[in-house]
Structure 1
Amino acid sequence: MDAQLLKLSATFPFATKIASLPKQPLNFPSISQTKIPPFPLFLNLETNNKSKIHTTATRRNDAAFNEAAYEAERLNLDAAARESMAQKSVSEAENPDDPKAWKWVIRKRVWDLMEARNIAQFPRPVHHRIPNFIGAHIAANKLSELDVFKEAECVKVNPDTPQKQVRFLTLNGGKKLLTPQPRLRTGFFSILEYSMLNPSTIKEACTSVGVAKYGRPIGLEEKIKVDLIVIGSVAVDPKTGARLGKGEGFAELEYGMLRYMGAIDDSTPVVTSVHDEQLTDDIPIEKLLVHDVPVDIICTPTRVIFTNTPIPKPQGIYWDKLSPEKLSQIRILRELKSKIERETGQKLPCGPSEKLPPTAQRRR
């Protein structure tokens, strides 16, 4: 697949609006002139519904669901994936010749600041993760007051701790919640609905174990429409909507797969919730990559910011940017790649090899 590259320019006009409780409709910029046609497929990929973790959608009602066994297996699979890349796992910040080294400088500054000022919450340390922050529930409540949230029927929310309240408010508001399995290593996406739950299980359903226990696993063949994307961030620029995650690239892959599924398009708003100290003004948009996902709205504990981002949104999965190391981590991507190659008779390109970043360490 030939990938058309987008060149981002620092000369884009910036416009920022800040309000406590925004009620005005959002007008997202049209970027039809920069669209990249996705690879012509679709997507009858059959996922492995006989996996040990997800057998059928009815499993959520199975009284025999063994939470301890599920969590142990999930952690074992995750640990195995980490071990397989351990020899290559190194912080890109230590390699000044790497074109993404500047991102690690910003991430480390934010992580260090949050720890030093004690605005981080469990799990700690916050390094190499989407940081949980003091006031995350307040930022989530502000997000729930947005018109785009109130009007959404299906909301995709990242699985990280600081967005747990967003997941709760989504379910409690009677909306469909689409949540990816952590790092996509043990599955793909699961859908949860309020009708699957009761008041005693709704909070549990917002956790990784609860998603597996109560959610309905879906594959890439699922016909869904996602009305709003909530994404975690390490740092974000309120003037441009430029965002940095924790460096593993899973949010970008999730976004790309949703584009391939036809579940989202350029008009689907992307929102992030962060602490005010995670706002930065030194993310150079001209250095962003074609698959980096910008945000339209930022919610902090003190304010709501409309970025009017000029940055084009990714149009799908950019196989020529996907390293062999990353591909080896994610089973569903390998299956999708094989599926496309079988159906088209053409071999998809592969990105250059990379040294994967270190994963977070958890204090016990």
Structure 2
Amino acid sequence: MADTEIDQAKQAIRQRVWDLLEQEHAAPPGVHGHIPTFYGAEAAGNRLAGLPEWRAAQIIKAVPDEAQLPTRARALADGKLVYMAVPRLAELLPFYLLDPQAIGVPPHEAASSAVAATIARKVGVEEMKPVDLIICGSVAVNRHGTRLGKGAGYSDIEVALLQEAGLIKPTTTIVTTVHSLQVVNEELPETRHDFSVDLIVTPEEVIHCEPPRRPSGVYWDELTPEMINAIPALAARSRG
């Protein structure tokens, strides 16, 4: 399947899931084009917090999406160090460092991307420690662990950067929290930058997926000049 066909196939699935979430009142209106802020996100976060993978994790990398806010807040409340991606990776140092011992505000406030932007120090991968658990958002995901984000590719680049820097260990777990309607039973198209998730957590269940699939790093030949220039950390690396 050509790249254009893959992109079109992915977008058709996203559109169907966004429509379904709104039709079933599983998310507030306006989810199209975004990682859905689904109803039950806090329950999914609580279910994740009961897993051994969560209890063992001390250092977490998380997306900044609203759907994962309860999980980021729980991580800080549980004393875990959180690296949260800067929205759209729009800074040269693309991660916020949230240290539960130094945030100075309640965890549910610090976990907000708007508040993190005012209280957290930004860091690059060179300053980061290896991560135990990666929390990502999804628009759709199947039980094999193949996921679709909103289509911008930021989560894929985040994982590729961490992988290239040696910050993803063989034991690192990647998890997504979603509404049950976002779990689909079909094959989902993938590209080289796409990573799989090891765990899917909904408000009702935990799904353990197949052996992990990870990019080995950033595949520069698959990035457009526009994407490279839009992400300062990539632009700096491309200049050498």
TM class by shorter chain equals: over 0.9
Deviation, 1:97, is 5.6
1:300-339 alignment runs, 5 A limit: 300-307=202-209, 309-310=210-211, 312-339=213-240
In the other structure, the counterpart of 1:185 is 90
Residue 35 (structure 2) pairs with residue 130 (structure 1): yes
Which residue number corresponds to residue 254 of structure 1? 158
Among 279, 286, 299, which residue is 2:183 paired with?
A: 279
Residue type of the partner of 1:304?
A: V
CA–CA distance in 2 between the matches of 1:292 and 1:143?
23
Residue pairs, 1:41-120, within 5 angstroms? 98-120=5-27
Whether the 8 Å CA contact 1:233–1:245 is kept in 2: the answer is yes
Q: What fraction of aligned residue pairs are identical, expressed as a percent?
A: 38
- Mapped contact 1:266–1:313 kept (Cα < 8 A): no
**Larger deviation, residues 202-211 vs 273-282:** 202-211
Kindly provide the CA deviation profile for residues 16-44 of structure 1, in whole angstroms up to 9, marking residues without a partner as x.
xxxxxxxxxxxxxxxxxxxxxxxxxxxxx
Q: Is the 8 A contact 2:156 2:195 kept in 1?
A: yes
Structure 1: how far apart are the matches of 2:138 and 2:161? 19
Distance 1:201 1:213 in 2: 14
Q: Structure 1 stretches (4+) deviating beyond 4 angstroms?
A: none
Report the CA distance between 1:130 and its aligned residue: 0.3
Amino acid in structure 2 at the alignment position of 1:191? L
What is the CA–CA distance in structure 2 between the aligned matches of 1:110 and 1:322, rounded to whole Å? 26
Aligned-residue offset at 1:213 = 2.1
Q: Do residues 209 (structure 1) and 114 (structure 2) align?
A: yes
TM-score (ref. length: structure 1) = 0.63
Deviations 1:46-70 (A, max 9, x none): xxxxxxxxxxxxxxxxxxxxxxxxx
Task: Give yes or no for the alignment of 1:232 onto 2:137.
Answer: yes
Unaligned runs of 5+ in 2: none
Q: 2:73·2:108 contact (CA, 8 Å) conserved in 1?
A: yes
Q: Distance in 2 between matches of 1:140 and 1:202?
A: 14
- Matched with 2:197 is 295
* TM-score normalised by structure 2 residue count: 0.94
Q: Distance in 1 between matches of 2:65 and 2:24?
A: 21
Unpaired runs of 5+ residues, structure 1, are 1-95, 340-364
Secondary structure of the residue aligned to 1:128 is: coil
Deviations 1:264-318 (A, max 9, x none): 134311000000000101124xx411110101101001011111x2452111111
**Equivalent residue number for residue 100 of structure 2:** 194
In 1, Cα distance between the equivalents of 2:211 and 2:113?
34
1:146 alignment counterpart: 51
- Helix, strand or coil: the match of 2:237? helix
1:73-126 CA distance string (max 9 Å, x none): xxxxxxxxxxxxxxxxxxxxxxx96332111111000000011111103xx410
Report the structure, 1 or 2, having the larger strand content. 2
1:159-184 per-position Cα deviation (integer Å, ceiling 9, x unaligned): 00010000001100011011010010
Question: Is the radius of gyration larger for structure 1 or structure 2?
Answer: 1
Deviation, 1:223, is: 4.3
**Do residues 171 (structure 1) and 76 (structure 2) align?**
yes
Query: What is the identity, as a one-letter code, of the residue corresponding to 1:317?
Result: V
